[in-house]
Structure 1
């Protein structure tokens, strides 16, 4: 039955994406809840955006790790698929940033950092999960 391996593969990638998205969203909520990030409509400082970019990078590594660990075979191929999805989602964020304009979504470097860190962070997480299983074939 070909459907089961396909579902397991899709589940591995979806789980990696969910780990990244849910952890990032939860961390944002915690930062706002503890008053580390200011409440809307106050603007965040550059250092707070740097903090957000740093923990998002860590969560992106975790997403790559989860995907590779759950992949039924070829963990790096699964991680590459997750990285591509993250890159596309991050580029959509950059487009939104420039469409809304005027820095309303923070500094440009922050918007650009999301897709830039997608590929290396996901692949690093996958490498951590499977240090000996790195074939992309």
Structure 2
């Protein structure tokens, strides 16, 4: 149980830390504004794209660290992400375009699947 929890927490933390770090770097460089209300659709798509990559990596890491059932662990992280995404729609949906928050809701479980599958494909190719 402890190893399973560590696997999920590691995947979650990697996603959060990478996203915050990259957001901060882009803000310091002046690429994205500190005010999330004045951001172009193309910039929102850019932010969404790198956060998708970080999320896939987080689910991959969770699957890799899982003591058994890597897909199950990846989907547990995806479930946590789904809950957080729905919470974001409810409480923070006004901070950007409506479609950004909803895209996170709809993409979370496919991202979890893909992260887990990439790990399995890598393991099966050894």
Equivalent residue number for residue 74 of structure 1: 69
Provide the rounded CA distance (Å) in 2 between the counterparts of 1:42 and 1:95.
17
Q: Whose radius of gyration is greater, 1 or 2? A: 1
Say which structure is richer in helix. Answer: 2
Q: TM-score, normalised by structure 1?
A: 0.84
5+ residue gaps, structure 2, are none
1:20 is aligned to 2:10: no
Residues 74, 133 of structure 1: alpha-carbon distance in 2 compared, 3 angstrom cutoff = farther
For these two proteins, the number of residue pairs brought into alignment is 124
TM-score (normalised: structure 2): 0.91
Aligned to 1:43: 38
Residues 43-74 of structure 1 deviation map (CA, whole Å, 9 limit, x = unaligned): 11111111111111101100110000000000
Q: CA deviation at 1:132?
A: 7.5
1:68–1:78 CA contact under 8 A, matched in 2: yes
Give the conservation status (yes or no) of the 8 Å contact 1:91–1:115.
yes
Q: Distance in 1 between matches of 2:76 and 2:91?
A: 23
Instruction: State how far apart, in whole Å, the 2-side matches of 1:132 and 1:41 are.
Output: 37
What SS does the corresponding residue of 1:72 show, helix, strand or coil?
coil
User: 1:82 Cα deviation (Å)?
Assistant: 0.5
**Counterpart position of 2:47:** 52
Q: 2:116 matched to 1:121?
A: no
Q: What is the alpha-carbon root mean square deviation over aligned residues? A: 1.8
Within 5 A, what are the aligned runs for 1:86-105?
86-98=81-93, 103=94, 105=95
Contact 1:75 1:133 in 2 (8 A): no
